[in-house]
Structure 1
Amino acid sequence: MDLADVDINLLVAFDALMSEGGVTAAANRMHVGQSAMSATLLRLRRLLDDPVLVRTGRTMAPTPLALSLTSPIREALNQIDQLLTERPAFDPARDHRTFSIRASEYATVAVLHPLSVKLRNIAPNVSLRISPVMPRFIEDLTHNDFDLVIVPPQFVGAGSPVHSQVLYEDPYVVAVDKSHPDVTDSIDLALFTSLPYLAQKSSGNRALVEVQLDRLGIERRTEVTTDFGLAPFLLRDTLLVTLIPVSFASFLAEGVGLKLLEPPMRLDPVTESMFWTSHRDDEPAHRWLRTQLLEMAGPLRSETTPGD
């Protein structure tokens, strides 16, 4: 095979076809029409002298040759991407870079928003493109669709081909309206379970604190279910009670009119980690981003109590 005949876009298309397992899904991923992807598959077949994908019933399956080439071609594309995007050094005050990050609602509020504000002064040409976590975020990372994902480590299965580092652990506090008629300076389990409860979800899933309460067998009088970010704002002038990470709750307490109390049950703190692929490990710009995130999360790693 003459390398002059190899179009790198064919290798990108090959990777998409192997990842998605079909022409239609690969076309959607590469933002091209189905006919264009079908033509690309025909070119790959001619180049490799192999069917690449063959129909088995109602689905398409890769040939043995295609399977043997999948990992080497993906690694080669990752290396090419790194060569083209990595510089010998990264100067945040001068260099241009946009980082694509998928993150939980809490990480967006607690870490990424403050970092975006900080970047205006220390890295005016660096920006963050933030989007919610989707079910296939590991695949997004390995396909280089995103630079980084910030989620609770429970969301990542054992053996996932990604690197990780814990950003913070933040304990929960009970939050109620500051003028709540039934809650004074403390709350016991009987009172907690008797009050109307505000349940939370995050990125479309049940919040981890709800899973913990279920595991502990703690009943709730759930009257409202809302996204994590809205929860503190729905407590004012109500009898509702909920559980919120202390740093987030403390940040909003005065403005929203919240009273924060120690929970009457033992709960694991909110733990969130950042995840990235191995080929980003030594990239100067990516290392700089991870350092900035750790600095922003520093206060969340400190011990915080409701009275602080």
Structure 2
Amino acid sequence: MNFATFDLNLLRVLDALFIEGSTVKAGARLGLSQSAVSSALSRMRHALDDPLFLRQGNRLVPTDYARGLQGPLREELSRLETLLAPPRAFDPATAEGTFKISASDFMAEMLMPQLGSLLYETAPNIRAQLVDLVPDDYIGSLERYDADLALIPDAPIPSWISREALFLSPFVVIARRSNPRVAHIDEGDVMPMDLFCDLHHVLFSPEGRLASLGDRSLARVGRQRHVAMTVQVFSGVCRVVRGSDLIALIPAQLAHEVRTAYDLRLFEPPMPVDPALIVGIWHKRSDNDPMAHWVRQQIFDLLRALDMRD
């Protein structure tokens, strides 16, 4: 038999003949005429080089060769029916699986505690994993880490990526409470430009770059700052500020969350800084995956609550 030219629709006819033992009844099961079933049986006999069925009274009886096909054929057709069936309703309470999120450690503070509580209460058998972003290649995080979702500052994306805008992240200046250089400024006020540029800065930069969004904002007003150190995680930035007289420009949501734990004071930057739009991206192949869709929506709801716009 040449499988490449074999009509796989004939297998449904063969299965119906096994069940019904009659070309008339098999046709009724499939919505075909008796003559169409007989023609299909003739084609199968030719292709498989076996009679397949012999008439015994009013019933068609399978040959020994056909009998050997009966069980395996039903199993394969059942497997295909399951494979091609529409997705069943997703039940988080009974679902099992792992969902991998690629993001900076900002999300370890601002997302994972809330997500952990939510999954514990509603989907106890779904595991969440937070992994790093690939430096200089946020899109590559989806493939290199096999991530189900990446949470990144907005950027151009290729056509195979789906995207969801989540929240705007403005920036504030942080300094330790005992920093003598900022003692005269009321918390929440604008830090004077000269002081901001004179103080030493610690910069969040997984790639080790010595300039970022804050430096571009300063350049627009003809100023520059002194970057004394870079750290690859936000938690490290906050620790440096807590333990020294360096200052930093970090997302406002994170600053408000950790200000007490790190004994920080918060100030407005002296120049306009465009807020970062944080977006979620994922591979389009997962658009309709029930578990992935459900977990994404829970994450999106949690993160949209961080938006600081009025």
What TM-score do the two structures reach when normalised by structure 2? Answer: 0.64
Q: How does 1:61-76 map to 2 (within 5 A)?
A: none
Matched-pair contact (CA < 8 Å) for 2:204–2:231: yes
Cα–Cα, structure 1 residues 268 and 99, in superposed 2: closer, same or farther, change >3 Å?
Answer: same
Give the aligned residue type for 1:192.
F
TM score, norm. by length of structure 1: 0.64
Identity %: 28
Structure 1 partner of 2:150? 149
Partner of 1:271: 277
* Per-residue Cα deviation, 1:203-238 (whole angstroms, up to 9, x for no partner): 666684345346535312222221222111211253
In the other structure, the counterpart of 1:54 is none
Q: Which residue of 1 aligns with 2:165?
A: 166
1:1-308 alignment runs, 5 A limit: 2=3, 87-134=87-134, 138=139, 141=142, 145-154=146-155, 157-183=156-182, 184-185=185-186, 186=189, 187-202=191-206, 208-210=212-214, 212-213=216-217, 215-216=219-220, 217-227=222-232, 228-303=234-309
Q: In structure 2, list runs of 5 or more residues that go unmatched.
A: 5-79
Q: 1:194·1:220 contact (CA, 8 Å) conserved in 2?
A: yes
Over 3 Å counting, the alpha-carbon distance change for 1:92 and 1:204 in structure 2 is: farther
Distance in 2, matches of 1:298 and 1:231, equals 24
Q: 1:140 to 1:192 in 2, by over 3 A?
A: closer
Closer, same or farther: CA 174–136 of 1 in aligned 2, 3 Å: closer
The answer to whether the Cα contact below 8 Å between 2:209 and 2:230 also exists between their aligned partners in 1 is no
Equivalent residue letter for 2:224: E
TM superposition shift of 1:268:
1.2
CA distance in 1, matches of 2:279, 2:86: 24
SS of corresponding position for 1:117:
helix
Amino acid at match of 2:120: R
Aligned 8 A contact 1:199 1:210 in 2: no
Against the structure 1 CA distance between its residues 258 and 269, is the aligned structure 2 distance closer, same or farther, given a 3 Å change threshold? same
RMSD of equivalent CA atoms: 3.1
Residues 138 and 173 (structure 1), Cα distance of their counterparts in 2 relative to 1, 3 Å cut: closer
Please give the alpha-carbon distance, in whole angstroms, between the structure 1 residues aligned to 2:102 and 2:308. 25
State the AA in 1 paired with 2:180: P
Does the CA-based 8 Å contact 1:176-1:241 persist in structure 2? Answer: yes
Q: 1:188 to 1:201 in 2, by over 3 A?
A: same
Secondary structure of the structure 1 residue equivalent to 2:299: helix
Q: Which entry has the higher C-alpha Rg, 1 or 2? A: 2
Inter-partner Cα distance in structure 1 for 2:236 and 2:145: 31
- Contact 1:94-1:125 within 8 A present in 2 as well: yes
Instruction: Report the alpha carbon displacement of residue 119 of structure 1 after superposing the two structures with TM.
Output: 1.3
Quickly say closer, same or farther: Cα 1:163–1:196, change in 2 above 3 A: same
Name stretches of at least 5 consecutive residues in structure 1 with no aligned partner. Answer: 4-79
Q: Which residue of 2 aligns with 1:26?
A: none
Q: 1:196 offset after TM fit, Å?
A: 1.4
User: Is the alpha carbon distance of 1:178 and 1:279 closer, same or farther for their aligned partners in structure 2, counting shifts above 3 Å?
Assistant: same
Give 1:246's aligned amino acid: A
- The count of aligned residue pairs is 225
> Could you say what secondary structure the match of 2:228 adopts?
strand
Instruction: Note the C-alpha offset of 1:116.
Output: 2.3
